[in-house]
Amino acid sequence: MMNANPNTRPGDERYVEMLTQLQAIDFVLVELNLYLDTHPTDVNAIEQYNELTQQRWKMANEFEALYGPLMNFGHSYSGYPWQWNDTPWPWQV
């Protein structure tokens, strides 16, 4: 079967799986952030936000150790040589 996205790493299902999980967590974090803007005293939502934030940092660190940086402008380290030239970029998958 041919890969639908030519920018993904051929045969590396873990790359796509990890990135998909990160995107799902990011979606929930954005939604919780919006909810908490209007419900700032919802302790359950705050706890869920903090747990997912911790999970996201752990997953992002693992992803970056395997595949390189997810975000620029000081949010992610780069190895040598400069890794931002490496494709696919996270937003291309």
- The DSSP symbol for 55 reads H
60, exposed or middle or buried, with CB in 10 Å at 0-12, 13-18, 19+? Answer: buried
> What is the mean pLDDT of the segment spanning 75-92?
64
User: Distance (Å, rounded) from C-alpha 79 to C-alpha 23?
Assistant: 23
Choose among 33, 65, 86, 34: nearest CA to 57: 65
Residues 38-79 pLDDT 10s: 999 999 999 999 999 999 999 999 998 888 888 776 656 556
